[in-house]
Structure 1
Amino acid sequence: MHGRWAARRARGLEPALIDNESHEIQSFEPDDDRHTHLRVAGPAALLVAKIVKIEERRATPRRLKPKDGLDVLRLLRVVDMGEVAQRLQLLAADEMAGEVTRSALAALREHGTQGDGPVAALAASAVTGTEDPDIAIESTVFLVEELLQACDERR
C-alpha cells in the first residue's frame, strides 16, 4: 500500500523528466511577493502522457474522458509543430523515454488520424455545446497528421 504522498511511477510520464522547463510561479496578489521556480513538462511530454492515457483507457471505454481528447486538440492548436516534432524525435531516441514515446507516436498514428478514432471522438464529445463537434474532429485529424508529417520529415 502506498502512503498518500508516496511517489508512484506512471507509464507515460517518463518524457517529462527530459522535456521540461523552469517557470516562475508567483502570487496573483500585488502585495504578495512570494514566488518559486518549478519545472513544468513541455508540450511533447504532455502529448505523450495524454496519448498514453487515452490508449490505456481504450481497453475500458467507460474510463475514457473527453477532456483527454480536448487536451490533445488544444495543445496541437497552440504549439509549433516543428519544435514539438523535434522534441518527440529526441524523446524517441532517449534510453528512458524512448519506448513510451515511440509507443505513443504509433498510437497517435493509428488512432489520431481518423475522424472516428478515439482522439478526435473524445475531443468532439468535449466541445459539444461550445464548438461545432465536426470542426473539432476535422481540426484534430488535420493537426495530428501535420505533427506526424513533421516527425516523418525529421527521420
Structure 2
Amino acid sequence: MNIETVRARTVLLDALEALGGHLPSIILVGAQAIYRRTGAAEVALAEFTTDADLVIDPRSLSPNPLIEDAMTVAGFVRDPSNINPGTWISRDGIPVDLMVPDQVAGKGRRGVTVGPHDRGSMRRTVGLEATLVDNGILSVAGLADNDGRRIDVRVAGTAGLLVAKLHKVSERLETPRRRDDKDAHDIYRILVAISTEDLVDTFRVLLNDVVSEAVTSDALSMLERVFASGPEAPGSTMAGRAEHAIGDPEQVSLAVSILAADLMKALDR
C-alpha cells in the first residue's frame, strides 16, 4: 500500500483519538470510508488517499470538549492556505476535514452554528445528509507497521457515500480546475462492489427520511445525467479516464454507465 494512504490512516486515527469524547457523533466518510466498505473491489485503480473526512452530527454533539480545543491539543492547526472552515492539518501537513451536513448545520453560509463550538472549526456541506441516516459502526485499524491502534467508529454506508460522491462530482463539473477523475471512479468502485439490490433497499430508506430525502433525490438525478445516460456522459468518462495506463478506460466508462442505469431502473426512476 502506498505511503500516502498509510499516513492518511495514521492521521485519521490521531483525529479520532483527539475527538474521542465526541466519537458517538462522528461518522467517517470520503475515500477511507469507501475503502472500508468496499474491501477488495475488483477494479484496476489501487486504493489511494491523502486526507481524512469526518462528518459531525450536531444533534448529538456534546458541548465539551470544544472541537477547536481538542484538535489543537492533539497538534492539529487550521489550514492557513484554505479559507474554508473546518479544514485542519496535522503536524506533517495531512488534511482532516470536519464537516456538518447543511440541513442540520444551523444558521450561516459556510461555518456551522453548534452550541459553544467555534464556527470555523467545522464546515457546512451539502450532500452529506444521507450519511446521517446510512451508517454503522466498524473497526478502523492503523496501516503503519508500528501503529497497532484500532478504533470503532461510525462509518457511512455505501448508499450514503454514493449520494455524497454524486454531489461532489456534480458540483465540481461546473469548475473544471476542481474536477478529480478519482471521485467518479469511487462511484464506479461502489457500484462494482455492492449489489444493486442492496443499494436499492438503502436508497428507499434514504428517500423516506426527512433528513436525507432531498439530497438523495437530487443525487439520483445527478446519477441519471452524469453516469446512467451512457459511457460518454461526463461522470462515466471521468471514471474511465482514472484508469488510464493501468486498466481499460473504455470498459470502465461503459460498465459504470450500465450499473448506474440498472440502479435507476430498479428504483423506478
Of Structure 1 and Structure 2, the greater strand share is in: 2
Partner of 1:112: 227
When normalised by structure 1's length, the TM-score is 0.89
Alignment of 1:1-155 (within 5 A): 2=85, 6-27=121-142, 34-113=149-228, 114-152=230-268
Write the deviation string for residues 84-108 of structure 1: whole angstroms up to 9, x where unpaired: 1111121112111111100000111
What is the deviation of 1:3?
Answer: 6.2
Greater C-alpha Rg: 2
Is 34-43 or 67-76 further displaced after alignment?
34-43
Shift of 1:53: 0.5
1:38-92 deviation per Cα after TM superposition (whole angstroms, max 9, x unaligned): 0000000110011100111111122111001110111100102111111112111
Q: Select the structure that is richer in helix.
A: 1
Secondary structure of the corresponding residue to residue 207 of structure 2: helix
State the alpha-carbon separation in 2 of the partners of residues 39 and 103 from structure 1.
24
Structure 1 runs (4+) deviating above 4 angstroms are: 27-34
Change (3 A) 1:91 1:32: same
Residues 1:33 and 1:11: Cα distance change in structure 2 (over 3 Å):
same
Pair 74,29 (structure 1): closer, same or farther in 2 beyond 3 Å: closer
Q: What is the CA deviation profile of residues 96-151 of structure 1, one whole-angstrom value per residue up to 9, with x for unaligned ones? A: 11111000001111221221111111111100111111101111111111111222
Aligned pair count reads 153
CA shift in 2, pair 1:65/1:4, >3 Å: closer
Q: Greater RCO between the two (CA within 8 Å, min separation 6)?
A: 1
Asked whether the 8 Å contact 1:26–1:33 carries over to 2, the reply is: yes
Q: Give structure 2 stretches of 5+ with no counterpart.
A: 1-82, 89-120
Identity rate, percent: 33
Which amino acid in 1 is paired with 2:237? A
Determine if contact 2:226/2:233 at 8 Å carries over to the other structure.
yes
